[in-house]
Chain A
Amino acid sequence: MFNPVVAGITVRATLGRRRALLFAIPAVVLIALTVVLRASNPAGVSWPANVLGTFGFSVLLPLTALIIGTGVLGAEIDDGSVVHLLATPVRRRDVIITKFAVAAGLTTLFAAVPELIAGLLAPNSGKLAVALFAGAVVGAVVYSAVFVLASVMTTRAIAFGLLYVAIWEGALSNLVGGVRILSIAHYALGVANAIYPDHDLQAGLSLSTSLILGAVVTVGGLYLATRRLETFSLAGDPA
């Protein structure tokens, strides 16, 4: 299942790239926004759920997950070094699960932990911070599965991911009620809302619905990614 050698190389490759600096940007934005709002509007208690929940889960969290999730395997596919990994008897399923685990772990570190910090900085929070953290961890897991899948399906995974985040998660899922069922941000919000019920989280899904759908998307995504990697082909002579 999980392969520590693959994980070690992946962590080093992911954090060693210049792209790694990008991971921190959404987190810094989120924490800076929290600090600014706290200073300018100390009396308002409704904004933390809005900003950290809705905005955080449908924009900042998926952006971090996108950069990390499409990089853990996609970067190796792009430059061809993945062949060194695939020219070993390591099962493709193990490659996908390990890459996914690294992506989910790093996204937790760079997106869910900042949610927790921002939550603690926000006024009257405490339990809200824990709820946001738990929701963000669920979001990190599901988003990572989707973006790892995207990176083995297409070489334009980042473009696909940006459109998906901007149109589906950022706009449609918050405007059209039915889209929530297929929105990862809403799975995360459903989990957060179950721990700390807050109308301003605008959670549209129950805890059980969120967890079941999140699990289905994650397992389905990893299954499809494995199938795709099993048929990974090198281009031959175009002749």
Chain B
Amino acid sequence: MYQYDKYDQAMVDARVAEFRDQARRRLEGKLTEDQFKPLRLMNGLYLQLHAYMLRVAIPYGTLNSTQMSVLGDIADKYDRGYGHFTTRQNIQYNWIKLEDAADILDELSKVEMHAIQTSGNCIRNISSDHFAGASHDELIDPRPYAELMRQWSSFHPEFSYLPRKFKICVIASEKDRAAMRLHDIGIQIVEKDGEIGARFFAGGGMGRTPMIAPMIRDFVPVDQLITYAEACLRVYNRYGRRDNKYKARIKILVHELGKDEYTRQVEEEFAHMLDQGVEPPLAEIERLKTFFASPAFEDGPKTVDRSDPDFALWVDRNTNRHRHDSYVSAVISLKPVGGIPGDATGDQMRLMAKLAKQYSLDELRITHTQNVVLPHVRIADLHALWTALDEAGLGSPNLDTIEDIIACPGLDYCALANARSIPLAQRISERFASKGKTEELGELKLKISGCINACGHHHAGHIGILGVDRKGKENFQLSLGGSEAEDVSLAKITGPGFDEDGVIDAVEKVTDVYLSAREGDERFLDTYRRIGMAPFKEALYD
């Protein structure tokens, strides 16, 4: 876990006091909404359809049981008994009162959490692999590097007013579980000639103009990471467009300049900055590594009793191989059939906190797919864990299946949305579960956004759905062939959109095409890539 020092705590405490005063002045009429809005947004407080919404940062999705428990308490005390885990590994509360907001931030600060930089044109919460420090296939734990980025980017004076928001992702395995190349900057920790360093990718993103970030450097030495990141940001801050918010993201700059010219400018800036003392000493990264020291794993059983088929299915679906062979990482699905993706009640949060303390060395992770991970579970404890989860409605064995749908809050909550996304997710999971087709379809990532901003990652869905407004009515565009993983690709629109019933039928039709055309162990995505769009379009529109 990251650890606050006295400076971190003092900064966060000062920000809470500052915001409390700002909110008081707003309530007393001493600040107008135009004056107050940028101040509240700097503290993650939005105004959505039904109320204020508070987005709380969960650094690279990592939290401990005390923090998760407090998140559950906040849901009960200040919200309506639940919270929503987001595709940015954060949590949002939907029913916040302005007069309570400072008190919530105060309670968060006591457990080393805050909502700073969860909005605004700044560097947002750093994201990372939710299996970091646990997975068998990672080169090294990426969290110390994510923490380095977090400390560098927090309150960075030069990057507090960028042309647009900025998202950075750090991973350390060839398998990409964090949509790394769909970030403004993607950093992959790699090894070259026995030395640790990083590949840098720049200019990725979703939104209205989706782009896959090209690699701009294949190796940045570990003692130059911050300097190189700063050079990337400086070029963007200098030349990113501020006249048109729809063209203000770094992906537009990289695209318009071209990867080579952007890279040339970054390298020029980097060379200029190298001797200016931007980089923290290597001792700092070594200090940060101590925050994430490997727990004392104990040898134990390496297999489970598979006599209970429900348990065996959950183990097969919802666990990931750990770097210690007596452990696994267990994924708690927040996608019960017919449920709201990413929502958890206060009671469920406190239960997950308790189970993390009991079975996962006090650690939890939030995934960008809106699930929760217990990263270090002894195989010997798996059945007891699953039993407790199942009793609480948290035992759905559906990871990476068509039931494990990403959905943004959509028009049910979000002021930007054009269409509802959650009801589609509910109905699709019910449709496929009731027909018993989930297992047969295998890995199938379906992602739904309620507007072009793409918080539901529809561009990266094997099947993507985008809700649009057509003359005041909801309409849904279907797209196929996206991936946020190491085989990253952007989905293509099938054709004319559908109404709500029509798009659910359309999803079933494309899965039927897949099942009839599948060869061997092909996933939906593999079959789509082999046979192309035509058979799917034929099934949908002819």
Same complex? no
